[in-house]
A and B are shown apart, each in its own frame.
Chain A
């Protein structure tokens, strides 16, 4: 990949494969080392892990356990694990809540559209970039297209709102065609387009990095062989390039499916308003309002837990499916 070959920090590329491993394996005792021995030998290493483990325990695993308040009555200021069991009361409550089903549908819509557009566009862009012969030009396009990735989501939302303002460029262009200005931000039917559009603007360029890296690893001989067999450019892309980047595609697809339900919560929170709730309100924003703003902590936690479990199921299923069908998987 062009941007990294010239100037990457030393050591981040071409890792000498497993130079350390065989040596270690050689001097390890054949039987499994006992814990007592391991502790005696490596206690200093283990001690370095204490603070990080404390972090994971307190700020990652404790909140997971904290989800029990979905099944318990919770009182602000009381125990973080709630006061008493109430069974599935809150689950039944949200299942019979029409707003929940609305935000559920909205989540599927926005998640689905994001997947549909934001997953393939970086692939196409990477393939196009890969065909650019002038390296300086290629690098320039890359640098420019990565830029939005580095901006705060607040700035991206601000820019989006400015572009769509009644005196902004989009309405300006509509004016050329004699169209009345559209109040994009207030109209529910525009929200999904706006959300997905700004998501593409922010992520498409950065998303090409891994594909471009994968493209450079494809053996040039394969193209040569394909040409000798009489394949034209399209056939070469179809039979050589795409299979070459398939593992990357599958991995990113699995990851995308895993975050499907967690649609860009912060971006929605910044772009929506009560007028656009009918299409814009998603599970996570509803959880936020129900919990943090209305103090219905148990109710909100029940919905949040539901979302997290769906996410976990989705990514596990996608991973299993891909391991069986194409042999690529995350774990």
Chain B
């Protein structure tokens, strides 16, 4: 590399400042919410809390930890995520495998059926009517079934299968293994990486989703934790103030939203550093092929 010119060094300096700002602006809200969640009511109301907790106070955490509905909804989130991801993985894997077979007659049509839905969808109302009239309301299936295949994930998986060496499959075929056997015993063991990525894609998206639950579940005890948080920030509920005394109420009122945001975001923040690279590589694979 040639010796950098002076203006380029100036640029590098400015660039460093800009990127530092990007990092600060991205992280500050998290740090601030975390600080608020541990702060006292007076300091929060006075707008004194910035990076560190002021007037350390755990009352709201205690109240939320005692709220049975919060934990119930958290459990629902886990349940819905597991069920919906399992359904999605089975359907997506099967279809992606079929679509990856280049010799298959009608393959173009099968791909087209999936891809068209990326650009045109039925829309909210017909979907709502459909799910309602299928009697899926107030069950986990209202969340799992209508979102069972993400076409983007499907295309990522298809691309991966297409790039597997065919020799093993052909050998297995000659040995008399059925297509199902090949998929289960040859292809899937070779595809652990993409399967892991897809499980992550689906589970994060189901974990984070709220609208299907909000739309199709009527009872509070069926809600996932995202809807619990949504009701809280919309002021529809007071949160877990069932057992709170009067002097606790004002403290809870000051930071229950921060506390709930922290508790809801925590699992994602904990796994994020470890799973981030799978997302990046998955997205790039999808982009190359999709």
Contact = CB atoms under 8 A, between A and B. Distances in A.
B208 A153 contact: yes
A159 B261 contact: yes
B269 to A, nearest CB: 8
Contacts of B207: 152
B125 interface: yes
Interface in A173-204: 175, 201, 204
Given A3-B276, A159-B261, A205-B26, A297 B129 contact: yes
Given A45-B104, A52-B98, A128-B15, 7 more contacts: A12-B193, A19-B163, A128-B18, A132-B15, A154-B227, A210-B283, A248-B287
A301 B166 CA distance: 47
Kindly name the residue among B90, B190, B194, B210 whose own CB sees the greatest number of chain A CB atoms within 10 A.
B210
Kindly name the residue among A3, A49, A315 whose own CB sees the greatest number of chain B CB atoms within 10 A.
A49
Given A52-B95, A146-B276, A38 B105 contact: yes
A168 B101 CA distance: 55
Contacts, number: 320
A12 B124 CA distance: 35
Interface of B: 2, 5, 7-8, 11-12, 15, 18-19, 22-23, 25-30, 32-33, 36, 44-47, 50, 90-92, 94-95, 97-98, 101-106, 110, 113-115, 117, 119-130, 133, 145-146, 148-149, 159-160, 162-166, 178-180, 183, 190-194, 196-197, 204, 207-211, 215, 226-227, 229-230, 232-234, 257-258, 260-261, 264-265, 268-269, 272-273, 276-285, 287-288
Contacts of B194: 9, 11-12
A235 interface: no
Interface stretch (A95-103, A302-310, A320-328): A302-310
Query: Which are the 4 A-B pairs with shortest beta-carbon distances?
Result: A63-B122, A9-B193, A66-B126, A44-B179
**Chain A contact surface mostly:** helix
A63 B127 contact: yes
Interface of A: 1, 3-4, 7-13, 15-16, 19-21, 23-24, 28, 33, 35, 38, 42, 44-46, 48-49, 51-53, 55-56, 58-67, 69, 74, 77, 80, 125, 128-129, 131-133, 137, 140-141, 143-148, 150-155, 157-159, 161-163, 167-169, 171-172, 175, 201, 204-205, 209-210, 213, 227, 232-233, 248, 258, 266, 269-270, 284, 287-288, 291-292, 297, 300-301, 304-305, 307-308, 311-312, 315, 331
